[in-house]
């Protein structure tokens, strides 16, 4: 096993950076262009509080789909598991995250899971509050506590881009309104969903979210328990089965811990009882996952023996030049 140090992470980044070449930057996001294609950064925070990081950018990027795990936590808090999973399924979809056809084919009363767009929009409708503003404030309060970062905020530019590029998400929302799946008005659910996607975070913040899930849902400053462990377990299980969209099976095998990606090139990883990982690598594959970031996640799993299903000693011997 490799030792987790900043130097090790710098090496791991250089090994993984070439994978950016096979990805594309999501040009619909403000500030995203080819010049950032090779960016790669990682932060790791262990449950005993040690921080490690590497990469030469300290970029704040939109959460995009990594927001789906925060929305799910709030909905679970507000309504409990049974009610949430009456609205949204818990099964992997095996198709693209914004699929329209799958919405009708599985069970017309609910989307496959909360990690795809339709599922997250349905979950947004469940978050309590007297209006969108109030619901979003609850989201931000929770997120600021989780990350211990009071400065987090939404980017207006990203939010405007989400709205103007949101035709596909509107189709999903209005379809769900027609079947009675959405418990709020479609435009309101979408507005909250767009805002949640547009919150800007840095790599350290993403790692903090992973750590929060890994370390029992504690406020990192006060040790106050912010969410019951059984909800965290649900969120991590759903991340494992669906967090990397239709590559989730691949990541379950090759990384072996819960991850959630976003089309901004963000990945949150959570290794229960051990650490949270945040990765930023803006070039993504056709499924919406960071190519260099994904390679890095898999490398970290192997080198640091993070696979929850057991360590592959053959790989270790190979890495050590034995056998
Ligand atoms: N996969 C993602 O990160 C999806 C977020 C994107 N803004 C969308 O709604 O389609």
Alpha-carbon distance 41 to 292, whole Å? Answer: 10
* Shared-domain flag, residues 16 and 101: no
Q: How many domains does the chain have?
A: 2
Q: Which of 197, 228, 261 is the last residue of a domain?
A: 197
For 54, left (φ over 0), alpha (ψ -120 to 50), or beta? beta
Query: Which atom in ligand 1 lies closest to the alpha carbon of residue 263?
Result: 3
Q: Is the CB of 289 under 6 A from ligand 1?
A: no
The domain boundary residue, chosen from 149, 175, 197: 197
Q: Return all residues near 250 (Cβ < 8 A) that are at least 6 apart.
A: 244
Per-residue tens of pLDDT for the chain, all 323 residues: 999 999 999 999 999 999 999 999 999 999 999 999 999 999 999 999 999 999 966 789 999 999 999 999 999 999 999 999 999 999 998 788 888 888 887 777 799 999 999 999 999 999 999 999 999 999 999 999 999 999 999 999 999 999 999 999 999 999 999 999 999 999 999 999 999 999 999 999 999 999 999 999 999 889 999 999 999 999 999 999 999 999 999 999 999 999 999 999 999 999 999 999 999 999 999 999 999 999 999 999 999 999 999 976 665 555 555 43
Are residues 170 and 255 located together in one domain of the fold? Answer: no
Residue that is last in its domain, among 175, 197, 219: 197
- Main-chain dihedrals φ then ψ at residue 234, nearest 5 degrees: -60, -45
In the reported structure, the alpha carbon of residue 261 is separated from the centroid of ligand 1 by a whole-number distance in angstroms of 10
pLDDT for the residue numbered 320: 52
**Residues 169, 21: one domain?**
no
One domain, residues 247 and 281: yes
Which domain covers residue 278, as residue numbers? 6-63+200-319
Let me know if residue 93 belongs to a domain: yes
Cα 82 to averaged position of ligand 1 atoms, centre (Å):
26
Q: Could you tell me if residue 252 is inside a domain?
A: yes
Is 66 a pocket residue for ligand 1 (Cβ < 6 Å)? no
Per the annotation, does 117 bind a ligand?
yes
Q: Going along the chain, which residue ranges are E strands?
A: 24-25, 41-46, 51-54, 61-62, 200-201, 259-261, 266-271, 275-280, 283-284
Catalytic positions: 65, 68, 193, 245, 263
Say how far apart CA 304 and CA 306 lie, in whole Å. 6
pTM across the whole model: 0.95
If you ran DSSP here, which 8-state letter would residue 237 be given? H
**Do 141 and 261 belong to one domain?**
no
Residue nearest to atom 4 of ligand 1 (CA): 65
In a domain, 30, yes or no: yes
Measured from the CA of 288, which atom of ligand 1 is nearest?
A: 1
Q: CA–CA distance from 84 to each of 104, 186, 205 (Å)?
A: 19, 17, 26
Cβ–ligand 1 distance for 169 under 6 Å, the answer: yes
CATH of the domain at 175: 3.40.710.10
Residues in the chain: 323
Residues 189 and 40 in one domain: no
Residues 145, 255 share a domain: no
* Whether 51 and 90 share a structural domain: no
pLDDT of amino acid 102: 82
> Same domain for 179 and 108?
yes
**Co-location of 237 and 151 in the same domain:** no
């Amino acid at each position: 096993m490799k030792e987790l140090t900043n130097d090790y992470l710098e090496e791991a980044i250089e090994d993984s950076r070439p994978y950016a070449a096979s990805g594309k930057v999501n040009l619909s996001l403000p500030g995203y262009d080819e010049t950032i294609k090779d960016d790669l950064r990682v932060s790791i925070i262990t449950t005993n509080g040690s921080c490690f990081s590497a990469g030469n950018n300290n970029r704040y990027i939109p959460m995009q789909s990594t927001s789906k795990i925060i929305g799910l936590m709030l909905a679970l808090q507000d309504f409990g598991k049974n009610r949430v999973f009456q609205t949204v399924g818990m099964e992997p979809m095996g198709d693209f995250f914004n699929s329209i056809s799958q919405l009708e084919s599985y069970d017309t009363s609910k989307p496959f899971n909360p990690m795809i767009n339709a599922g997250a929009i349905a979950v947004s409708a469940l978050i309590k509050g007297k209006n969108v503003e109030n619901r979003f404030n609850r989201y931000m309060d929770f997120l600021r506590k989780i990350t211990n970062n009071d400065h987090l905020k939404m980017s207006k530019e990203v939010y405007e881009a989400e709205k103007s590029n949101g035709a596909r998400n509107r189709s999903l929302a209005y379809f769900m309104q027609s079947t009675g799946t959405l418990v709020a008005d479609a435009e309101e659910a979408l507005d909250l969903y767009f805002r949640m996607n547009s919150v800007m975070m840095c790599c350290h913040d993403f790692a903090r979210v992973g750590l929060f899930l890994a370390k029992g849902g504690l406020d990192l400053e006060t040790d106050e328990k912010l969410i019951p462990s059984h909800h965290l377990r649900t969120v991590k299980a759903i991340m494992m089965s669906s967090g990397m969209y239709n590559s989730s099976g691949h990541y379950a095998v090759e990384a072996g811990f819960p991850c959630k990606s976003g089309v901004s090139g963000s990945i949150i990883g959570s290794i229960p009882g051990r650490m949270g990982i945040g990765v930023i690598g803006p070039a993504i594959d056709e499924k919406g996952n960071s190519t260099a970031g994904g390679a890095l996640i898999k490398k970290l799993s192997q080198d640091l023996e993070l696979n929850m299903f057991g360590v592959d000693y053959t790989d270790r011997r190979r890495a050590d030049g034995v056998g």
